[in-house]
A and B are shown apart, each in its own frame.
Chain A
Amino acid sequence: MVMPAPVYLPRAELGRLFGALAADGRTVVGPTVADGAVIYDRLESPGDLPHGWTAETAPGRYRLDATSGARAFDYGIAVTAWKRFTHPSLVPLTRARRDGELVTVAPVHEPPPRLAFVGVRACELAALRIQERAMRAGPAGDPDHVARRDAALVVAVECARAMSTCFCTSMAAGPEVTDGADLILSELDEGFVVRVGSAPGGAVVEPLALRPATQAETERAAAQVAGVRAAIGDPVPAEGLPERLRAALDHPRWAEVAERCLACANCTLVCPTCFCTSVAVASDLDGVEATTERQWDSCFSLGFGRVAGDANFRPKVADRYRQWLTHKFSTWWDQFGSSGCVGCGRCIAWCPVGIDVREELTAIAPMTAPAGPIPWPLSPETGRAPAALATLDPARHVVATVRSTEPETADTVTLELVTSDEALLAARPGQFVMVELPAFAAPPISVSRIRADGLDLTIRAAGAATAALAGLGAGSQVALRGPLGRAWPVDAARGRDVVIVAGGIGLAPLRPVIESVLADRARFGAVRLYLGARTPRDRLFVAEMNALAGRADLEVAEIVDRAGPEWLGRVGIVTQLFDQATWDGSRVTAFVCGPERMMQAAAATLARLGVDPAATWLTLERNMACGVGTCGHCQLGPFFVCRDGPVFSVLELGSAFGREGL
């Protein structure tokens, strides 16, 4: 659309704009003074704006100061980001009920409030775009976020004052407001130059019948924001920054900054683009009724990367600081095509120990540093969701019934689930489902068999939820969400030899691969199964594997880590089954699943035997909490394991595979 020429709103008539927004059915939220700071909150009238206040910021410092003027938007930037409204800290997700064996899970869909954001800075507008892009990505996105963002009208106000912590210029996020706002205000002493940025914005101001802004007024507005740009300069040259950071993953500065960092998560909570969340489960005492809520979380939390069994992929503060900084300034580009930082400077001001991200970037990834090799090659197939899942509704749960249970080992059981849901029945080998039992956090469970009328899930009791699932009996119900994730590329192995290497519970997600290959046996070359387990008692699917071992058209070998004298089979690690192999590795497509350290050993042995890293596939375990790439828990370098994986080739993972603390 052709935007009308700028108009002028006298300061005394600001209330008319508020009235027009109210007439549009909107609640106005914007900056106001509370508890010694400017925050974004509901505004009843222009009188609630922080007239005559500005703020002084520095690393670890924020102070309000009175000004001699009466400007309403001279405060720099508010403490709270707009994500408070688009990505609230608490969002109800489901209400669930368990009556004996019966389970119901209902999504909670609350209509988004119709808000007008007044006072959005250029950097914040960029942040809204960036966070929205992240929440629209993946197989499902975050419908709540999208609905809230779609329901908001944005009234931006260009900056007239630079704070000492600002660096939007370096991040190409400001200070000028170029697009994305419905209305753009430039505050002058006596009033506002108003530009219309969208049709809804035009519809709001058109009834006000404002006079055109004079050339002098528009020039003063432009000069103001130009002065802000000049004052900020370019403190963090961004050219090549993602590559420079990738090359600095082992920089000693990570450990140094970790000595100062409290891992308090302030930086992520005030950050306008950070979107990581966790799901909290609350239930009554008998576990009959339960609700789930999405809550803000932070990659600085100690347990953020923790998985069942207490393994923690980022146990050190240095790991978590590196994760945050490299995500913001490097891997965000891989995932969402932009920087994850807009240079608002909140993380600098609100760091209690005054860590200045600009200083850390300059030290860790200076312009003089060589970019170095990119440690993880990106494949066109990764970094985006499988197309087949593009319409998945993350709140959609399907209730399935346990037809039978099969104890596999002392702590592992297979549930045979019955469902008629077409999406679940279309699951492919390697995909997983989130399994919800009211009152328990839903764990991701790999599908261990795909049947015409349901799925098998093989579950190892490793925590409260999996223990409860493993204890279910026939007739019990569970709620499933999925199928999720990237499947094993079984079709890509047609015409080639197949090597399957499984360790422990890792056989479960590989069983559908075995069954797919055997169902179409003639289309594959030699098929070899190498199975490892802790002890003879810990072997999975024993009868099935014994039956396979009796077939002439495949080779099955198994080994256990330890055994008593009664065991006459092999003892050692799984790679011993093939490290002296003489087969032609160049013809092999390999599928590997087990503990990550085991997979590293297997991948190394396969590589030595000539198997192409691009044809060596494995599945990773990470804290997959949402399953659709919106909660951030399972990030590994440029990937969200739940969305881009869990199946990856060794080539795709590159040096991210097995790297400690990543």
Chain B
Amino acid sequence: MDRSSLTALLGETWFGGRLGAGTRARLAALGQVVDIPEGAVVVQEGMPCLALGVVISGRIALRLALPGGQDRTILTVDAGDVYGWSAVLPPAISTSTGIAVTPSRAILFDGNDLRSALAIDCELAAAVYQRLLETVVRRLTATRMQLLDLYRPASDPW
């Protein structure tokens, strides 16, 4: 995909839609579009997080492993949203395992390249960190609500 097409694709996502045109273009220059087959692991909990992904289509399930091998999906990432935010934050270790539960497509940003760009391009850094912070806040808020277990049965005290 050429650079302008990728920039336009990024602009159609929640993550990239509100970035300034120049910022978006500079960010797009760092990205590449990848197709992710169903079942592919895109990030692995506890392992280095190599790339930030912006989902174009499909669905990535973020899972935590429980002892005994019982994984739990704690969040899904759909079109427009991001996975692998750990890639921009040293030590860049994944906090969950991301698995494509449907065939998916994403724009991938190599973690090393992105960190280097953010270190020298303040405007880009301000825009990207703002978006990532919004993402993390949204997930924190959601996690708090999930923690409340609002729909639990009456027989199951909190």
Within 8 A of B (CB), among A571-606: 571-573, 575-576, 579-580, 594-595, 597-598, 601
Do A580 and B80 have beta carbons less than 8 Å apart?
A: yes
Q: Please tell me which one of the listed residues B70, B75, B148, B151 contacts residue A571 in the complex, with CB atoms under 8 A apart.
A: B75
Interface size class of A (residues with CB under 8 A): 35 or more
Scan B64-107; emit 1 where CB is below 8 A from any A CB, else 0.
Answer: 00000011111110101100000000000000000101100000
Do B152 and A565 have beta carbons less than 8 Å apart?
A: no
A504 sits at the interface (CB 8 A): yes
Docked CA distance A410–B74 (Å):
22
Given that A561-B149, A573-B145, A597-B148 are contacting pairs, would A463 and B154 also be in contact in the complex, using a CB cutoff of 8 Å? Answer: yes
Q: Name the distance in Å between B35's Cβ and chain A's nearest Cβ.
A: 18
What does DSSP make chain A's interface, helix, strand, loop or mixed? loop
Q: Please tell me which one of the listed residues A462, A559, A564, A571 contacts residue B154 in the complex, with CB atoms under 8 A apart.
A: A462
A411 sits at the interface (CB 8 A): yes
Do B73 and A564 have beta carbons less than 8 Å apart?
A: yes
Do B76 and A571 have beta carbons less than 8 Å apart?
A: yes
Q: Name the distance in Å between A592's Cβ and chain B's nearest Cβ.
A: 13
Given that A563-B72, A564-B70 are contacting pairs, would A594 and B150 also be in contact in the complex, using a CB cutoff of 8 Å? Answer: yes
Instruction: Find chain B residues with CB under 8 A from A534 CB.
Output: 149, 151-152
Which residue of the partner chain A has the closest CB to B14? A580
Instruction: Find chain A residues with CB under 8 A from B141 CB.
Output: 601
Which residue of the partner chain B has the closest CB to A577? B78
Q: Please tell me which one of the listed residues A308, A461, A503, A564 contacts residue B151 in the complex, with CB atoms under 8 A apart.
A: A503
Scan A553-571; emit 1 where CB is below 8 A from any B CB, else 0.
Answer: 0000001011111011111
B63 sits at the interface (CB 8 A): yes
Docked CA distance A579–B78 (Å):
12
Do A568 and B59 have beta carbons less than 8 Å apart?
A: yes
Q: Please tell me which one of the listed residues A461, A462, A565 contacts residue B71 in the complex, with CB atoms under 8 A apart.
A: A565
Instruction: Find chain B residues with CB under 8 A from A565 CB.
Output: 61, 63, 71, 73, 99
Q: Please tell me which one of the listed residues A564, A567, A573, A594 contacts residue B142 in the complex, with CB atoms under 8 A apart.
A: A573
Q: Please tell me which one of the listed residues B142, B148, B157 contacts residue A576 in the complex, with CB atoms under 8 A apart.
A: B142
Do B61 and A571 have beta carbons less than 8 Å apart?
A: yes
Q: Please tell me which one of the listed residues B99, B101, B149, B153 contacts residue A462 in the complex, with CB atoms under 8 A apart.
A: B153
Given that A568-B101, A570-B78 are contacting pairs, would A561 and B59 also be in contact in the complex, using a CB cutoff of 8 Å? Answer: no
Residue of A463, A559, A561, A567 with most chain B CB atoms under a 10 A cut-off: A561
Instruction: Find chain A residues with CB under 8 A from B63 CB.
Output: 565
Within 8 A of A (CB), among B101-158: 101-102, 138, 141-142, 145-146, 148-155, 157
Do A572 and B75 have beta carbons less than 8 Å apart?
A: yes
Q: Name the distance in Å between A23's Cβ and chain B's nearest Cβ.
A: 59
Q: Give the B-binding residues of A (Cβ under 8 A).
A: 308-310, 410-411, 460-463, 503-505, 532-534, 538, 559, 561-565, 567-573, 575-576, 579-580, 594-595, 597-598, 601
Q: A462-B154, A564-B70, A594-B151 are in contact. List 11 more A-B contacts (CB 8 A).
A: A411-B155, A534-B152, A562-B73, A564-B71, A570-B59, A570-B76, A571-B75, A576-B142, A580-B14, A580-B81, A594-B150
Q: Give the A-binding residues of B (Cβ under 8 A).
A: 14, 59, 61, 63, 70-76, 78, 80-81, 99, 101-102, 138, 141-142, 145-146, 148-155, 157
The 5 closest A-B pairs by CB, nearest first: A309-B154, A462-B154, A534-B151, A504-B151, A595-B150
Give me 20 A-to-B residue pairs in the complex whose CB atoms sit less than 8 angstroms apart, sorted by A's number.
A310-B154, A411-B153, A411-B155, A461-B154, A463-B154, A503-B151, A505-B151, A561-B149, A561-B150, A561-B151, A562-B73, A562-B74, A562-B146, A564-B70, A568-B101, A572-B76, A580-B80, A580-B81, A595-B150, A597-B148
